[in-house]
Amino acid sequence: MWRFLGDHQTVEGILRDKDLAKLGDSLVNLCYSLAKSQIIGKPTGEKVRDKVLARAIRETPIYDKYSRRTDAGRAADAYEAAIAYLWLKEKVTIEKIVGSLVTNMTNEIDVSRRHENEISSQAFQRLLEELIHLLPR
């Protein structure tokens, strides 16, 4: 369906796709904003910090396929690329992403920024762990 997606044969190719990461950045921020809006009961717009996504992907087996030596920005880009790929391939919906984040963040969002980042990172880690099997090997 998406001509620009290309033919990614490996997870490594997906994680290194800078264009997918750009799209994934917007997608992840939208889903996080929707999840946080659902939790706090009013609309909000949020940007997920690179260190949150970097911590999330580094705690999953998928990171072994990427690299052990990347900065937070590149690790976050890899996370965003994976989510964008899965969404574009219709293997996950925005509703599924938001639902997973809400489930794993509920009642824990009204805390310090540092604690919120830890909770958010764990929620994004769990989301990716739920979806890893949908990526090519």
Contacts of 110 (CB under 8 A, 6+ apart): 40
Residue 1 covered by a domain = no
Residue 90 covered by a domain = yes
Contact 89, 11 (CB under 8 A): no
Residue 38 covered by a domain = yes
Q: Specify the number of domains making up the chain.
A: 1
pLDDT per position as a tens digit, 36-62: 999 989 999 999 999 999 999 999 998
pLDDT per position as a tens digit, 84-97: 999 999 999 999 99
| pLDDT value at residue 107 | 60
Structural domain boundaries, residue 106: 8-134
Residue 3 covered by a domain = no
Residue 26: give its domain's CATH number.
1.10.1520.20
Which residue has tokens 């949020």? 46
Mean pLDDT of 73-80: 96
CA distance 18 to 32: 21
Mean pLDDT of 108-112: 61
